[in-house]
Amino acid sequence: DAKTTQPNSMESNEEEPVHLPCNHSTISGTDYIHWYRQLPSQGPEYVIHGLTSNVNNRMASLAIAEDRKSSTLILHRATLRDAAVYYCILRDQGGKLIFGQGTELSVKP
């Protein structure tokens, strides 16, 4: 299974944008890039996913590098409720998610 590399932790100020990076240099052509987040004492929650093109939804934006070897999750205006562990995961069609350690995001008021 292809692996991802993320910083262990990041800090942000409330109401500022946050850019969470992820490297996936061994990504294959059929791997989708998924992002999940996990709040304390809850199960992981889907954030966004994409294949090649940048993606936007109500929660976040996903910017994918042209060579697909890296991606960035963008939270446009961080709130205190966005404090969580964010996981960048590669998923093949129908395949399981393989979680890494993720990035623990803290948001300061």
Q: Segment 34-63, which members bind other proteins (CB under 8 A)? A: 36, 41-46, 49, 51
Q: How far apart are CA 96 and CA 103, in angstroms?
A: 20
Helix (H, G, I), strand (E, B) or coil at 86: strand
Q: Segment 80-99, which members bind other proteins (CB under 8 A)? A: 85, 87, 91, 93-94, 96-99
Query: Which structure tokens are listed for 82?
Result: 């966005």
- Which of 75, 102, 105, 107 binds other proteins (CB under 8 A)? It is 102
**Closer of 3 and 77 to other proteins (Cβ):** 3
**Closer of 41 and 67 to other proteins (Cβ):** 41
Helix residue ranges, H only, the chain: none
